[in-house]
Structure 1
Amino acid sequence: MAGEFMRIEMLAALHGDCLLVEYGDVRRTRRILIDSGPVGAYEALRGRIERLPKGDRRFELMVLSHVDTDHIEGLIKLFANPRPWPFVVKDVWFNGWRHLEQAHGLLGGRQGEFFSALLAKRLDEGCWNGAFKGQAVVVGDAGALPEHVLPGGLKLTLLSPTLAKLERMREAWRKDLGDALDPGDLEAAWALLGQQKKYLPGKGLLGSSAQLDSLIEKQSRPDDAAANGSSIAFLAEYAGNAGMAASGNEMPGGKSRSCLFLADAHPDAICASVKRLLQARGLARLRVDAVKVAHHGSKANTTDELMSLIESPRFLFSTNGQQFGHPDEEAVGRVIGRSSHPSPTLYFNYLSEHNRVWQERQEQFGYKAVFNDGSGSPMVIAL
């Protein structure tokens, strides 16, 4: 159908990720939300939702990729608001202890337990990992990669996490909780969440009058490899109601648009899944319209092997560079130097001391760099 579109907004999520994906046609816009940034970025998310048309604040899916604070905290605060919410969400993908004990574990810690408690209390039955029948969002060791088609024709192919990655996370989850909570005790997590001021809307959860802690321990977690390995990452492809192309970007009835959303996933897991996908589709390289670069451009998450498996004209970097100094120069250089697409375009949702150098090297290395305007508005990439 004429007028079909897919666009990605990188919200001002400080050093984290908060991505709004809209797709549809002239008749209807559908959307998904991926992550939410740290709690300090919550107002950007809240404001963006409020700017959606009244009566059309529906999300087909929200994805919490993993439990690092720079991805999860905004969603904790969003879901802490009492219902009715000013938006509708049909499904939420998030691997909590209740799922991952079945898959032999996953790191979660306090934020993971808090979000699990909120989903259990707030969501309607069947809306937590609903596409997976309430089970873990995970890539099996064999067979076809899990696929799910959202209403309107957005096809998601899961690339991460694998069972092996989740198995590494059980003890890390337990260790992070310490003596504060037992894993999976959502009633205890709910009670503890009610004492966390930074997440509370107004007077508290459900208008509770319980005494709030005057001093709140800073909730922080090292952005370690184990947490990143548990990331939910996927390929999103949109070709409208005509269906999904098995290969290439063109298909009868219209243009297929696609993006790799890599969260903070480990490159070995992504490469293994992409190879399985290429074999199934009979392709040598996966052509996509954009790649949301893993882990904010950390040098440990973008490899030569990954770059050899994909072809894309656009690479998206979501970070203001605070705390961890991302993107790393090595990662950006690898994207440019190993890209199979001539003159790729790099999109940065902030201009910072850590990425300013890429504004100056465009002519030298033959790429294009686009930076957000600094207004605090989302950076919009139309595919």
Structure 2
Amino acid sequence: MFKLHVIQAKYGDALLISFGTPRKPRHILIDGGPPGNYAADLEPALAELVGHAGKLDLVVLSHVDNDHIVGLLDLLAAVEDDQVSGRRLRTKIAGIWHNSFERTVDTSGKVAKQMQANVMMLARVNTPLGADTLETFYGIKEGHRLRLLAKKLGIPVNKGIKKDILLAAKTPVKFGPLELHIAGPNKPQLETLETEWLDWLNEAAKEIAKDASTAAMSDRSIPNLSSIVLLAKCAGKSILLTGDARGDYIIDGLRTAGLLKNGRLHVDVLKVQHHGSNRNTTAAFFGAITADTYVLSADGRHGNPKLDTLKWIVQSPRPRQLPITLVVTNVTETIAELQQQLPPADHGYTVRQPPGHAHSIEITLRA
């Protein structure tokens, strides 16, 4: 058995891999969705798919953005509540994978220090930070909270992972019949990201000093280059999980892990990075990384998935010219526009969405 359950996560991500046998299934959860998602969809999905008091072999936080981490924090808080109340734990968690900010992006401690300084500068003049910076600032704190909750609950974090950092590697981590290949980030990418963040924060500090009222306008989307990228293999099938990583970083990480052949990779399922944003991918990426099924977790927020991204997928070269499937958590305006501009029957694709008010949609790779 090998299945991917795409859990409704609105504008975020929440994915459950099930493998093993129907009588003895095993499960890995990747991300938990944004605020409110645990109660609305993640908890009922886990109850249905894993069962009450069921076990998760692993929980993976791809990165600390709110639309990925908050549902996991709520899950751990619910488990803590069960423990404190003396109830049977609703979900048993064997381990967590999470790259801490200090060990990956901010090894020198300078990024957090400069970010705190910028926040204090703006507080003194009563000027708010931009949304992207706030999400990053609080996301770092939520990453700390995740680790503290895990420690309190006795859940190991990054057990067996060298130096407590998940980096692209050629040797997979095995969970019975399942292989998890870590395909990102790699060390040069993290070093680049630390430099980029410091440069940007220092520049922002100069802007604040000159005119604090321009600070919000100087905000930019901080890259999600530190996302953990995983290639899951089982029963001769494969799933590429990308978090919010950028396309060139994904390809570079796959190369580091020795997973590319002539610069290309075909997988059965590709979770499209960053909810289908066109800032994180290109047509060339979908030419190099192809799939039979593309997963897009988005609800139209920020215009995601972007029409450009959808067209790149549909018009990308395909092995043996086979039809493809777009599995979407929500039918957005851009998906409707895609179907109008590039009719599925003419362009060899179908669109699947969760039935009715279902909490998830299942992709079966092996029964």
Same fold (TM over 0.5): yes
1:155 aligns to what SS in structure 2?
strand
Match of 2:182 in 1: 158
1:372 to 325, 350, 354: 354
Give CA deviations for 1:73-111 in whole Å, capped at 9, x if unaligned. 111222223252411111111112343378557886323
Give CA deviations for 1:360-380 in whole Å, capped at 9, x if unaligned. 420232222222234142011
- TM superposition outliers: structure 1 runs of 4+ over 6 Å: none
Instruction: Call closer, same or farther: CA 1:374–1:351 in 2, change over 3 Å.
Output: farther
Aligned CA-pair RMSD? 2.9
Letter in 1 for 2:62: S
Match of 1:116 in 2: 144
The 5 A counterparts of 1:1-383 are 5-43=1-39, 44-52=41-49, 54=51, 57-81=54-78, 82=80, 84=83, 85-100=89-104, 103=107, 109-123=137-151, 127-133=156-162, 135-139=164-168, 144-150=169-175, 152-170=176-194, 172=197, 224-226=221-223, 228-239=224-235, 256-277=236-257, 285-322=264-301, 324-341=302-319, 342=321, 343-360=323-340, 361-383=343-365
In the alignment, structure 1 segments of 5+ residues that lack a partner are: 176-221, 240-255
Q: Distance in 2 between matches of 1:67 and 1:286?
A: 27
The Cα of 1:233 is off from its aligned counterpart by 0.8
The Cα of 1:274 is off from its aligned counterpart by 2.6
The Cα of 1:288 is off from its aligned counterpart by 1.4
1:288 aligns to what SS in structure 2?
strand
The Cα of 1:133 is off from its aligned counterpart by 4.5
Identity of aligned residues (%): 28
Instruction: Call closer, same or farther: CA 1:146–1:230 in 2, change over 3 Å.
Output: farther
In the alignment, structure 2 segments of 5+ residues that lack a partner are: 84-88, 113-135, 202-218
Aligned length: 311
Contact 1:302 1:334 in 2 (8 A): no
The Cα of 1:12 is off from its aligned counterpart by 1.2
The Cα of 1:55 is off from its aligned counterpart by 6.2
The Cα of 1:61 is off from its aligned counterpart by 0.9
Contact 1:260 1:288 in 2 (8 A): yes
Contact 2:298 2:328 in 1 (8 A): yes
Give CA deviations for 1:5-27 in whole Å, capped at 9, x if unaligned. 11111111111111111111133
The Cα of 1:276 is off from its aligned counterpart by 4.2
Q: Distance in 1 between matches of 2:156 and 2:230?
A: 19
The Cα of 1:338 is off from its aligned counterpart by 1.4
Q: Distance in 2 between matches of 1:287 and 1:100?
A: 29
